[in-house]
Amino acid sequence: MTGTGKDTLISRRLPHLRADFTASLVVFLVALPLCVGVAVASGVPAELGLVTGIVGGVVTGLMRGSSLQVSGPAAGLTVLVFDAVKEFGLPTLGAIVLAAGLLQVLMGALRLGRYFRAISVAVVEGMLAGIGLVLIAGQLYPALAAKAPDSGLAKMAGLPGAFLDAPGDGTALASLALCAGTVAVLVLWRRAPAKMRTVPGPLAAVGLATAAALALGLPVATVEVKGLLGSVQPPPLGSITGLASPGVLGTVLAFTLIASAESLFSAAAVDRLHDGPRTAYDRELMAQGAGNTVCGLLGALPMTAVIVRSAANVQAGARTKASRVLHGVWLLLFAALLPEALAYIPIPALAGVLIHAGAKLVPVRALAALWREHRGEALILGVTAVSIVAVSMFEGVLIGLALAVVKTAWEASHLKLEVVDEGTGPVDARLSGNATFLRLPKILDSLESLPPDRPVRLDLSGLHHLDHACRTALENWAERHSATAAEPVRVTPGPGPLRVKAA
């Protein structure tokens, strides 16, 4: 068979191989600096970021769910991972990721993936905004060759002093200049000529920063290389048994919920970018869980679906999941054959990549538009973000969810009270809508303002819902009013009768 015949046979069996191959190279070049940057910012060896990227491509990429979505270490989990490593140690990180992965698999098997779409978008955007703010604040310290404080508030409070100290420190100035240059390249790269944009912006920015640091001999910190096999550390048995402690268990739940929500929201966004098969949310959740389970066994970073890589995959012309699998293969080859190259990458350049990524997580324009149209949602977004900065990731998300539930309950309890009083005879009072405890003060204030000596006809037929608190309060009011009026309150029943004399 001729070469042309072989090409024809391959094209028939793998009709999109060329497009997927090209897309995989683009995604690999986008993922490489991000994998390393997220790992360094998380306080773990750089190679572990590559391991998570490899698993996200080869393991998760082979599974069914979202065909074009690409997974790997995400900037959105950097803050949470850093805190977990600092509090519990690197060996326990693997156990936490392992447990989170198993929980994701279980949730997918129970078909809970679709319910993540019910989470308030304002809470998710607030979560990402809070992460972005803490990420930016945290990465400005390596950009200034300084050590970052522990808490989000301390990071914010310490920045003015760190900037004031920089002018007298040559190392800090060199680091800041390199970081600023990296951010500038990332911002301006989208305006570069089309031929230049074939090189992904993050790779171009880090590559130029590395070349500048070497050419100018800048005194900046670079990535510490330990080797791929030296960095992979399966979690010891002791760390697995320690999962029962409340602190570790809370971190596992935070990893699970945040990684799952971010992945499934990313899947919804990726579906809007292409016309191919839609995401099967439960299968995608199981695929993410399988990937995190493997990452946990290897002691690597947790993974989520990453919208930056996924969008690059779609825009590069990917047609099937082969592109994301191949991108994992390229990461594996790089980690196995060229790990020494990581030692030349300046840490301020990686900080610049993550500052740029963090800035994109803060929806400044969207928040302004949301404030004009839906102030309640904008308030939830803002409070969630501020809570994450002020307290922690897990508590901030819980505060946001609680606010969203309260807002929904308040809006769902629409209630209208109509009173018809002609001056003589009975007073007609009609309730319609949903009578819940949230509206109880309004109901009682209106009813208690009725003339105490006049008979009242209370019509509840327009109510869709009457909760126990309102039912009890109405019964008590009816008894009190009947004791002072000429005759008992007459009730037209609604959702269940009151224990008073009906009409």
Instruction: Give 327-337 pLDDT, tens digit per residue.
Output: 999 999 998 88
Domains in the chain (CATH in brackets) are: 14-405 (no CATH), 415-492 (3.30.750.24)
Average pLDDT of every residue of the chain: 86
Which is more confident, 273 or 214?
214
For residue 15, the model assigns a pLDDT of: 63
For residue 1, the model assigns a pLDDT of: 44
Query: Is a pLDDT exceeding 90 seen at residue 487?
Result: no
**3-class DSSP string for 3-43:** HHHHHHHHHHHCCCHHHHHHHHHHHHHHHHHHHHHHHHHCC
For residue 85, the model assigns a pLDDT of: 92
Query: Is a pLDDT exceeding 50 seen at residue 502?
Result: no
Q: What is the pLDDT of residues 283-322, one digit of tens each?
A: 999 999 999 999 999 999 999 988 778 888 888 888 888 9
Averaged pLDDT, 99-111: 95
Query: Is a pLDDT exceeding 50 seen at residue 10?
Result: no
Averaged pLDDT, 140-144: 91
Query: Is a pLDDT exceeding 50 seen at residue 262?
Result: yes
Q: What is the pTM (predicted TM-score) of this model?
A: 0.73
For residue 500, the model assigns a pLDDT of: 64
Query: Is a pLDDT exceeding 70 seen at residue 6?
Result: no
Averaged pLDDT, 358-376: 82
Q: What is the pLDDT of residues 439-480, one digit of tens each?
A: 888 888 888 888 888 888 989 888 888 888 888 888 889 888
Query: Is a pLDDT exceeding 70 seen at residue 242?
Result: yes
Which is more confident, 183 or 154?
183
Averaged pLDDT, 195-212: 88
For residue 293, the model assigns a pLDDT of: 97
Binned at pLDDT 50, 70 and 90, residue 180 comes out as very high
* Structure tokens given for 410: 């308040």
- Closest to 312 in 3D by CA, of 210, 197, 208, 209: 197
Tell me how far apart the alpha carbons of residues 214 and 158 are, in angstroms, rounded to a whole number.
30
For residue 9, the model assigns a pLDDT of: 45
Tell me how far apart the alpha carbons of residues 97 and 138 are, in angstroms, rounded to a whole number.
23
Query: Is a pLDDT exceeding 50 seen at residue 264?
Result: yes
Query: Is a pLDDT exceeding 70 seen at residue 277?
Result: yes
Number of Cβ within 10 Å of residue 154's Cβ equals 12
For 442-450, the CB contacts below 8 A with 24+ separation are 442/415, 442/417, 443/415, 443/417, 443/470, 443/473, 443/474, 444/473, 444/477, 446/417, 446/419, 447/417, 447/474, 447/477, 447/481, 448/477, 450/419, 450/421, 450/481
